[in-house]
C-alpha cells in the first residue's frame, strides 16, 4: 500500500497537548533469548497467523508518517529473528529519501547482527540500539538463560563495520551487574558507542521478584560521579533517556528512569504490537486494534482509530516497585508490546 493512500492531515496530538512524533513497531513477540527480567523461561508466543504481514506494517507506518510521526523504531521480541526485516526497513525507509521521516532505527540483542547489519544499513538504517547487560560470559548466559556473549559482541562489531552507529542499552540490576556499569561505559567509549542505563520495569510475570534486582539510577549516577565527570546535555534521541557527557571519556551516557524520575510529561511515543494493537502507554492496558481497522475499514477507519487512540492516551504510567511479590503493573511482557 503506498503512502498516497493516507493523505497528510492533522498531526497526532493527545488530550494533554503532547504531539506524537515517535512510533515503535514490534515485528515479532519472539526472541532467541529469555532475559530473566523480561520473560519467563516458558513463553507462549503468537501464532504466525496472528502477526501482521510486512506489507501491513509498512502501511501502518505510512499512516503514522502522514499524521506527523518523524521517527520509527523496529523492535521485538528480537526483530531480527523474523525473516524480511531488512525488506521492511526498505519499505519504510523510502520516507527517509523524501524527508517525510527523520530516522528509522532498530533495537536488537545483537545475536543476528553479524548476518544482517549490512542489509540494514543498505535499507536506510543508520543507528541501532543493542541490549547488552553484561560482557561476562557466565553472567550473560545466566541473565539470558542460554545466550553466548561472543555472538552478541560479534554482531556489534559487524554493525560497527557496516557503518551503523551503536548505542548499548544496559538494564541496571542490583547485585548482578552494577559492578560492570563503569567498565561497560569505558568499553563503550573505546569502541565509539554511547551507553544508556535502564531501570527494570514491572511488565509481565517473570520467574523472579523484580524487587531483588531493582537498582535506582540516581544511586548509579552518584557512584559514577566519584570517578568521572558527568555533564548534563540537552540532546535527545526521541525517547525518554536523559543524557550526560562523560568528560574524561568523550562519549555520552543516558538514563531511563521510569521509577525514580518519571518522564511521562513529555511523552511523544506510542507502540504497535506484532498483532496490530496500538498501545498508547507501556504502563496501561488501553489499546486500539489497528489490524481490524486496516483490514476491514481501510484508510478512513485507520485514521479514525488513530484519533480514538489519542483520546485514550493517559497522562502517565503506573510503574511502581515498592513491595515484594507485587503483581506487575500490566500483565503483558515487554516482548509483547515491543521494547
Distance between CA atoms of 117 and 280, rounded to whole angstroms? 30
Detail the DSSP E strand segments found in 140-292: 165-172, 194-199, 230-233, 242-246, 252-256, 269-272, 277-279, 287-289
- Find out whether 130 is annotated in a ligand binding site: no
Residue 188 labeled ligand binder? no
Per the CB < 8 A criterion, the answer to whether 183 and 170 are in contact is no
127 labelled ligand-binding: no
Is 26 annotated for ligand binding? no
The three-state secondary structure class of 181 is helix
> Is 43 among the annotated ligand-binding positions?
no
Reduce the DSSP state of residue 258 to 3 states and report it.
Answer: coil
Judge whether 85 is annotated as a binding position.
no
Contacts for 217-220: CB closer than 8 Å, 24+ residues apart: 217/172, 217/255, 217/256, 217/257, 217/260, 217/261, 218/257, 218/260, 218/261, 220/172, 220/178, 220/181, 220/255
Annotated binding residue 73: yes
According to DSSP, residue 280 is labeled S
Determine whether the annotation assigns residue 295 to a binding site: no
Torsion-angle region of 177 (φ positive above 0: left; ψ -120 to 50: alpha; else: beta): alpha
Q: Per the annotation, does 35 bind a ligand?
A: yes
277 is in an annotated binding site: no
- Alpha-carbon distance of 265 to 309, in angstroms, equals 18
Q: Is 126 annotated as a binding residue?
A: no
Distance CA 334, CA 339 (A): 6
Binding residues for GTP: 24, 73, 107, 167, 269-271
Annotation: binding site for S-adenosyl-L-methionine: 37, 77, 131, 201
Binding-site members for [4Fe-4S] cluster are: 31, 35, 38, 264, 267, 281
- The annotated binding site is made up of 24, 31, 35, 37-38, 73, 77, 107, 131, 167, 201, 264, 267, 269-271, 281
Amino acid at each position: 500500500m503506498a503512502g498516497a493512500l493516507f493523505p497528510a492531515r492533522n498531526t497526532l496530538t493527545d488530550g494533554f497537548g503532547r504531539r506524537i512524533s515517535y512510533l515503535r513497531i514490534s515485528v515479532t513477540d519472539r526472541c532467541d533469548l529469555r532475559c530473566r527480567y523480561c520473560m519467563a523461561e516458558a513463553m507462549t508466543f503468537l501464532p504466525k497467523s496472528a502477526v501482521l504481514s510486512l506489507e501491513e506494517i509498512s502501511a501502518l507506518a505510512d499512516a503514522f508518517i502522514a499524521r506527523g510521526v518523524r521517527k520509527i523504531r523496529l523492535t521485538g521480541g528480537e526483530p531480527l529473528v523474523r525473516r524480511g526485516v531488512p525488506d521492511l526497513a526498505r519499505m519504510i525507509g523510502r520516507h527517509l529519501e523524501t524527508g517525510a521521516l527523520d530516522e528509522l532505527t532498530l533495537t536488537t540483542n545483537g545475536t543476528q547482527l553479524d548476518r544482517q547489519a549490512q542489509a540494514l544499513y543498505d535499507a536506510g538504517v543508520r543507528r541501532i540500539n543493542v541490549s547488552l547487560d553484561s560482557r561476562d560470559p557466565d553472567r550473560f548466559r545466566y541473565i539470558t538463560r542460554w545466550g553466548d556473549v561472543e555472538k552478541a559482541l560479534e554482531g556489534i562489531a559487524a554493525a560497527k563495520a557496516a557503518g551503523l552507529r551503536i548505542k548499548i542499552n544496559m538494564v541496571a540490576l542490583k547485585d548482578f551487574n552494577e559492578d560492570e556499569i563503569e567498565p561497560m561505559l569505558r568499553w563503550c567509549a573505546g569502541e565509539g558507542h554511547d551507553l544508556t542505563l535502564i531501570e527494570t520495569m514491572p511488565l509481565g510475570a517473570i520467574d523472579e521478584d523484580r524487587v531483588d534486582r531493582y537498582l535506582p539510577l540516581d544511586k548509579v549516577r552518584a557512584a559514577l560521579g566519584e570517578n568521572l565527570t558527568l555533564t548534563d546535555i540537552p540532546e535527545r534521541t526521541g525517547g525518554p533517556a536523559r543524557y550526560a557527557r562523560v568528560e574524561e571519556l568523550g562519549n555520552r551516557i543516558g538514563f531511563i528512569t521510569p521509577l525514580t524520575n518519571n518522564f511521562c510529561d513529555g511523552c511523544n511515543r506510542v507502540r504497535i504490537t506484532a498483532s496490530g494493537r496500538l498501545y498508547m502507554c507501556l504502563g496501561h492496558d488501553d489499546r486500539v486494534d489497528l489490524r481490524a481497522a486496516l483490514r476491514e475499514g481501510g484508510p478512513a477507519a485507520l485514521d479514525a482509530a488513530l484519533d480514538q487512540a489519542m483520546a485514550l492516551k493517559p497522562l502517565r504510567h503506573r510503574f511502581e516497585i515498592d513491595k515484594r511479590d507485587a503483581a506487575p503493573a500490566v500483565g503483558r511482557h515487554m516482548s509483547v508490546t515491543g521494547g
